Homo-oligomer: A and B are copies of this chain.
Amino acid sequence: MKLHPLWADYPTLQKELIETRTLMESSVRLKNKEVEQAILTMIESGGKLLRPAYQLLFSRFGVENDRKKAIAIAASIELLHTATLIHDDIVDEADTRRGVASIRSKFGNSTAVYAGDYLFVSCFKLMSDYASSLKSLQLHSKSMEKILNGELGQMDHRYQYTITIEDYLDTISGKTAELFALSCGIGALESGTSERFAKKASDIGMAIGMAFQIIDDVLDYSQTDQSLGKPVLNDVKQGVYSLPLIISLSEQSPELLALIKKQTSMTIEDQQRIWEIVHETKGVEKAYQYAIDYTQKALKLISSLPDSPQKKELVQLTKTILDRIN
């Protein structure tokens, strides 16, 4: 059970993330052993565990220091993230996830629906077993409501040529940033910080999450070889537009608009030309500037936290994960 190499620089966090993953795994107890195994494989083939890491770091700012509880809440948050991935794969008809077959491709949509539901519930179960107050549960479900409202909202935007930068930012704040905000906010609150501190933690998470998603979207367009941008160009064909393209669209290029209006009848040559226009109109560069702005916002807020080892780690981690481009 190997953790992402990123965590080698953070020995305490690394140890706690391993415990987090162990707890996640022991929360998955299904009668259907095949599905249980598929979920466990998905957990082990592991994402970076960024959300629980932020939760764990913020859980060191309070007056309490109950590591068992902090780890349980970290596991709860990552189970929630895993649940959304399983359901996202149904929606995106994805065949693989983290290099292994997705639950839906292995067992079909039906199993994937209930497997995701099961993890949603496991997440709430851990939360209600370990949280100290109903307040955290309220925060948690309010965040999840925003996340799902974001997912459902995104469907509205397909083939919406007039989508604005604000629409995009609004969508990713629900789709990605909200869960980072929750991780940081609930980490702080459950460790016994003031509500005011927890709100600041949540704002930091929000800024990190925004930068994180924008960087993901910029990376799709910043391969030197255009053929590597194939997935994002397929998204464009399916009507899903991310920040670099949206910025270029806002430059009112009639050629670009005509090309994306071709929808599924778009050819490989059309896609190639879209790629070129997005680069020519500096959509990629300008999108990256948004990521830099959010990163700076996060770092500025972090710098206002009381000096402590966990603050240093927060700065280091945030710089590392938001610096994937250079």
* Known contacts A134-B128, A137-B134: A151-B114 contact under CB 8 Å: yes
- Contact residues of A with B, CB < 8 Å? 29-32, 35, 87, 90-91, 109-111, 113-118, 120-122, 124-125, 127-129, 131, 133-134, 137-138, 140-142, 144-145, 148-149, 151-153, 155-156
- Are B87 and A114 in contact, CB atoms less than 8 angstroms apart? yes
Can you pick out 20 interface pairs between chain A and chain B where the beta carbons lie within 8 Å of each other?
Answer: A31-B149, A31-B156, A35-B155, A87-B113, A91-B109, A91-B114, A109-B109, A110-B155, A111-B155, A113-B116, A114-B151, A117-B151, A118-B148, A120-B120, A121-B148, A122-B145, A124-B137, A124-B140, A133-B134, A137-B137
**A134 — nearest CB in chain B belongs to which residue?**
B128
Name A's interface SS: helix
**A151 — nearest CB in chain B belongs to which residue?**
B114
- Are B141 and A128 in contact, CB atoms less than 8 angstroms apart? yes
- Are A91 and B118 in contact, CB atoms less than 8 angstroms apart? no
Contacts of A113 in B (CB 8 A): 87, 90-91, 113, 116
**A121 — nearest CB in chain B belongs to which residue?**
B144
- Are A110 and B138 in contact, CB atoms less than 8 angstroms apart? no
Contacts of A148 in B (CB 8 A): 114, 117-118, 121
The docked-state distance in angstroms from the alpha carbon of A91 to that of B109 is 7
CB < 8 Å neighbour of A152 from B114, B140, B144: B114
- Are A137 and B128 in contact, CB atoms less than 8 angstroms apart? yes
